[in-house]
Structures are given as C-alpha cells and as structure tokens.
C-alpha cells in the first residue's frame, strides 16, 4: 500500500490515514484498493446504481490519474461508493476534457467497519490507455458535518489540485499475461 497525504489546508477530523494500491492488473481488469483508517465518521454516498455521473468529488470519492509517456495528456478515473463513476481524457493539465468511452462499467464495492473502510474498484482494462503509466492515487474524504479532506500521493500547491502532473508519482507497469 502507498500512503496518501492529506492537503495541509484541509486536514481530516477523525481519519488517520488513507492508503492506495493496485491489487491486480491483467488484460481484463485494473484493480485498485483504497484503505481508510479512522473511518468511523466517514460519509458514504448512498447507492445510486451504476452509471456515469459528474461532480463525484463533492463527497467521498476515489480517483486514479493515469499518464502514458511524457506527453501532457492523461486520463482521470472517478469512482464513488454510490457505484456512480466517470472516466475523462485530458489533452493537458485541466484542458481538453472529454468523456472516455468504456467497454463496460467499472465494478466498485465499499466495506466499512467501526474504524476502517476498504474501497475496491475494478476498471475494464480495454477502456484504458496503454500502460505503463505514471499514476496519481487520490481521494476526497467527507466526514460527518460536511468536513472534507483531500488526499494524494503529493500536494504541490496551496490548494488541492489532483490534476497537477507533479502528483503522478507512482508507476504502473504493463499488465501481466493471463
């Protein structure tokens, strides 16, 4: 697991840590997991059914940014515990946004205990750009009372900006053969 850091201008209340990692990557699926410790006051959006949606970042959601090669373009994957999702391509930092076609919907589940929550996502590999990637794991965590914290591998500015390529510090290799 890779530990994410909360943005210093938006510290969490009860959440102690957020970790993320790739738990599987083959020709069919890219599987990612986020683990939240101190999740007793975590706000989990209610089930909304599968489907694309915008604005998922306005409450608890999990994101993965993938950048292939050295170019400015990248893909943003937004995943919600409500099972809503979206995938966008950008031509450069926050420019040229377009919904990326996906061959099928991602699969998402959340398991929550008294202190820990696990969010798992399986994203169809056929809908993603070719690996290897520079990657940014992120999370927006909402706690009771509407308090939000913003988690990423790195924060490089005074305000949270998950689109900053300097935050894409992890690497993901090409998928393994079946």
pLDDT value of position 70: 81
Per-residue pLDDT of the chain (178 residues; tens, 9 = 90+): 799 999 999 999 999 999 999 999 999 999 999 999 999 999 999 999 999 999 999 999 999 999 988 889 999 999 999 999 999 999 999 999 999 999 999 999 999 999 999 999 999 999 999 889 999 999 999 999 999 999 999 999 999 999 998 889 999 888 866 6
Per-residue confidence (pLDDT) for residue 69, from 0 to 100: 82
Question: Residue 166: what are its φ and ψ, rounded to 5°?
Answer: -65, -15
DSSP-based helix, strand, coil % in the chain, nearest 5: 5, 50, 45
Residue 177, pLDDT score: 65
Enter the pTM of the model: 0.95
Distance between CA atoms of residues 37 and 17, nearest Å? 5
Q: Distance between alpha carbon 115 and the CA centroid of its chain, in Å? A: 21
Q: Which domains does the chain have, with CATH numbers?
A: 2-172 (2.60.40.1190)
Nearest 5°: the CA angle 118, 120, 123 is: 165
Tell me if 45 sits within 8 A of 71, measured CB to CB. Answer: no
Give the pLDDT of residue 133: 93
């Amino acid at each position: 697991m890779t530990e994410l850091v909360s943005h210093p201008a938006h510290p969490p209340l009860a959440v102690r840590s957020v970790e993320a990692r790739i738990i599987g990557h083959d020709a069919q699926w890219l599987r990612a997991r986020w683990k939240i410790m101190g999740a007793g006051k975590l706000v989990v959006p209610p089930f909304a059914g599968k489907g694309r949606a915008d604005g998922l970042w306005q409450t608890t959601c999990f994101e993965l940014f993938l950048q292939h090669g050295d170019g400015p373009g990248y893909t943003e994957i937004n995943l919600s515990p409500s099972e809503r999702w979206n995938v966008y391509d950008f031509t450069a930092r926050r420019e040229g946004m377009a919904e990326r076609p996906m061959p099928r919907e991602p699969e998402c589940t959340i398991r929550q205990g008294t202190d820990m929550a696990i969010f798992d996502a399986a994203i169809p590999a056929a809908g993603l750009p070719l690996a290897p990637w520079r990657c940014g794991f992120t999370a927006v965590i909402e706690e009771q009372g509407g308090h939000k914290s913003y988690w990423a591998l790195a924060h490089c500015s005074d305000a949270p900006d998950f689109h900053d390529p300097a935050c894409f510090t992890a690497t993901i290799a090409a998928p393994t053969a079946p």
